[in-house]
Amino acid sequence: MTPVRIIQVGMGGWGQDWLKNVLANFVDAQIVAHVDTSTVVLQQIQQRFKKSKEICFETLETACAAVDAEAVLITAALPAHVPVALAALQAGKHVLVEKPFTPTLAEAQQLVEMAQNNNRTLMVSQNYRFFPAVQAVTTLLKEKQLGTIGTVNVNFRFNMGTVLADGHHYYTSFYPLLADMAIHHFDLMRLTLGQDATQVSCVTWNPSWSKFIDPACAAATITFADGTCVNYRGSWVSTGAPTQWGGEWSVECADGEISWSSRASSEDVSGDWVKIHRTGATPQNLPLTKMFHTDRVGSLAAFIAAICTGQQPTCSGYDNLGSIALMHTVIEASKTGMTLQVPKVH
């Protein structure tokens, strides 16, 4: 297969991580240009990764004019997602964008409509979907192997204070837990349950030792279309034992419980596990199917496959509207102290 030619936009720390750990050895994608508004960052790219100055640009427009590319990968910060995606779609390119997808639901809907009108693939890199435990649980629940679902409990704990220096810019980011981290968990709720959320309530807070400006802890109750209730507890400043990045899940069904966890670290499937406990029986560990592509490599592979086949990827922009709607409603519920309805987007 001829590699898909991609322009990468956003070459800061995260963009360079993509370049080193995802793109460097992925043979089905060829990065033909790098874009960043900072000339200093572009010089870093040229020096660190031995990139030619001729394929480094300060705007997407100049890159599109200079190179032949089929797609754009957006690894820039959130404020750049919408303008860059709009420019890419207007230029006739397929788009893979990092999460969170967009700052607002209305902007996400605008991008989805433009992609549909231009017959282009628009995909969000919800990389937590591409892990063995997630895929196994999604199948178990879809097939109702333990009967109907009643309650789901999700816990996430990590202490960012142990890895970030005082004054780090992340401490001033917008709702760092709910908007930047929990978006993964909200998306996994929708994927594994196979439906959208309808109603949420949420309480957020900062413990005395938190260095964050916006709340770093949250407790949310989320109701889904079939009546399933999800209790979510998350913390970016937990002094308890950290969970894996995918969180710790307990799914209570009519005939027993499914417990699971995922994503020990980036690209690491060694910590993935699923345990089935049928009522009255001994708990059993479920053997997990090996995946060839995981995490961000899984996202990129799904994006390339969608372009080549013309089929919508699992986390298309259209599908991700439900995750964006849920995220914003949870944040608004925490601000108002009210129980709110999640907008219908599908």
CATH number of the CATH domain containing 97: 3.40.50.720
Q: Give the tokens for residue 119.
A: 């017959």
> Based on the domain organization, do 107 and 141 belong to the same domain?
no
Indicate whether 200 and 236 sit together in one domain. Answer: yes
Tell me how far the alpha carbon of residue 248 is from its chain's centroid. 17
Contact 139, 260 (CB under 8 A): no
Residues 179 and 276 in one domain: yes
Pairing of strands 94-98, 71-74: parallel
Query: Last residue of some domain: 60, 90, 120?
Result: 120
| Gap between the Cα atoms of 87 and 74, Å rounded | 11
φ/ψ (deg, to 5) at 251: -110, 110
Is the residue at 196 inside a domain?
Answer: yes
Calculate what percentage of the chain has a pLDDT beyond 90.
Answer: 96
Q: Which of 126, 113, 137 is nearest to 194 (CA)?
A: 137
Q: Select from 98, 248, 122 the least CA-distant residue to 185.
A: 248
Same domain, yes or no: 205 and 279: yes
* Max Cα-Cα span within the chain: 67
Q: Are residues 148 and 29 in the same domain?
A: no
Residue 304 covered by a domain: no
Interstrand relation of 4-9 and 94-98 (parallel, antiparallel or unpaired): unpaired
Give the pLDDT score at 297: 96
Are both 100 and 236 inside the same structural domain? no
Residue 169 DSSP symbol: G
pLDDT of residue 266: 82
Structure tokens at 185: 């968990």
pLDDT of residue 25: 87
Residue 73 in any domain: the answer is yes
| Count of domains forming the chain | 2
Residue 249: closest CA among 192, 206, 170, 317: 192
Predicted pLDDT at 245? 97
- pLDDT tens for 46-60 read 999 999 999 999 999
Return the CATH number at 133.
3.30.360.10
Backbone angles phi, psi at 26, to 5 degrees: -95, 105
Shared domain check, 329 and 201: yes
What is the share, in percent, of the chain residues with pLDDT greater than 70?
A: 100
- What's the length of the chain? 346
Look up residue 220 and give its amino acid: A
Q: Which domain holds residue 201?
A: 129-291+325-341
Low-confidence residues of the chain, pLDDT below 70? none
3-state SS, residue 343: coil
Residue 35 Rama label (left phi>0; alpha psi -120 to 50; beta): beta
Q: 90 with 145, same domain?
A: no
Amino acid at 246: G
Instruction: Verify that 172 and 225 share a domain, yes or no.
Output: yes
Secondary element (H or E) of residue 113 = helix 105-117
DSSP class of residue 176 equals: I
Q: Is the backbone peptide bond immediately before 83 cis, with ω within 30 degrees of 0? A: no
User: Is position 115 within any domain?
Assistant: yes
Contact 287, 132 (CB under 8 A): no
Backbone phi, then psi, for 110, in 5-degree steps? -60, -45
Of 91, 120, 149, the residue at which a domain comes to its end is 120
What is d(CA 212, CA 170) in angstroms, rounded to the nearest whole number?
8
Q: Are residues 269 and 206 in the same domain?
A: yes
